[in-house]
Structure 1
Amino acid sequence: MGLSSLGIFHTIIGIIAIIAAIIGFIRSGKINLGQITGKVYFYTTLISSLTALGLSSVVGLNPGHILAILIVILIVIAYFLHARRQGNNRARFIENFFLSFSFFLSMIPTVNETLTRVPFGHPLAKGPTDPLIAQTLLVILLLFITGSIYQFRMQRKTNKSI
């Protein structure tokens, strides 16, 4: 596999973030920063995104770095909205969307790296342009869109009842 110590740490933290997000989606239909799974997602995604900046076979700023920076911006804004806009029900729409979008963006390198490395010695995909990666990301995109619509509707119901 050829992962550095930073790569191994980044991978472990990233897996924890994904698990926390999935648990949050299953339990409450969203990544909720008020719950332990949401907090775990926030901090592990922050660490994973920042460590991604130190991982690259290409010198200089590359699309992976830009993606990591965008993810950090999304989760920090979502955290700010959660912490500072408690009474603002409209802010929940943006908070939910930004957290879900950060998860979706995190899945792009995750799918690529996983499918081009696993199983060791005979990976499922040959490279980033492999159709399997595109098909997998399409399924994840459709899940993201469906989930975002669901979250919007649920948040709208919550806002009306308050």
Structure 2
Amino acid sequence: MGLTGLGIFHTVIGVIAIVAAIVSFIRFGKIDLKHLTGKIYFYFTAITSLTALGISKMGGFNPGHILSLVILLLIGTAYLLSLKKPGKNGSRYVENFLLSFSFFLSMLPTVNETLTRIPVGHPLAKDITDPLIGKTLFVILLLFIGGSVYQVFKQRSVNRS
């Protein structure tokens, strides 16, 4: 599949981060940095984003590197917000949104790389302009929007109790 050692490490760590986020969404309705799955997502996403800075198909600094830096900023800010005193404050909403948004942004290169590489030799998508990639990302966008609305309603109901 044309991956370097760094690329393989990056991919494995990234997959673990995605699985941890999905498990956290299922168990808690959000990526919760106070639980193991949230911590795994946070640290493994940080490692994935940092290792992405050393990977480049196009050579040099590119939009993928910018995306990695944005994701690092999002999860870093969410982490700082998670340190605030728990309770009925707006920082929990922002923290949840930032973590969910970082997950959504992580899915952009994940979908592209997966669909243009798998199955080996006969990938599902030709390149980033393939309609399958666009349709898949649209579905993920809808899930992100729906999940974000769900998180707000769920958090409001928890804050009322």
The bucket for the TM-score relative to the shorter chain is over 0.9
1:46 aligns with 2:46: yes
**Other-structure match for 1:21:** 21
**Other-structure match for 1:153:** 153
Matched-pair contact (CA < 8 Å) for 1:24–1:38: yes
Within 5 A, what are the aligned runs for 1:16-95?
16-87=16-87, 89-95=89-95
1:87 is displaced (CA, Å) by 3.8
Q: CA offsets per residue over residues 103-150 of structure 1, 9 Å max, x none? A: 000000000000000000000000000000000000000000000000
Please give the TM-score of this superposition, normalised by the length of structure 2: 0.97
Bigger mean CA deviation after superposition, 89-98 or 77-86: 77-86
Cα distance between partner residues in 2 of 1:78 and 1:137: 24
Aligned residue-pair number? 161
Q: CA offsets per residue over residues 30-66 of structure 1, 9 Å max, x none? A: 0000100000000000000000000002233211001
Q: 1:69 to 1:88 in 2, by over 3 A?
A: farther
**Other-structure match for 1:129:** 129
Cα distance between partner residues in 2 of 1:60 and 1:126: 23
Cα distance between partner residues in 2 of 1:57 and 1:25: 32
Cα distance between partner residues in 2 of 1:3 and 1:31: 29
Cα distance between partner residues in 2 of 1:85 and 1:76: 17
Matched-pair contact (CA < 8 Å) for 2:88–2:159: no
Which segments of 5 or more consecutive residues in structure 1 lack a partner in the other structure?
none
1:85 is displaced (CA, Å) by 4.1
Paired residue type of 2:56: S
1:159 is displaced (CA, Å) by 1.9
1:102 aligns with 2:75: no
Q: Percent identity?
A: 65
1:155 is displaced (CA, Å) by 1.1
Paired residue type of 1:11: T
Q: CA RMSD in A?
A: 1.0
Cα distance between partner residues in 1 of 2:84 and 2:54: 31
Paired residue type of 1:15: V
Matched-pair contact (CA < 8 Å) for 1:10–1:51: yes
Cα distance between partner residues in 2 of 1:129 and 1:59: 20
Please give the TM-score of this superposition, normalised by the length of structure 1: 0.96
1:11 aligns with 2:14: no
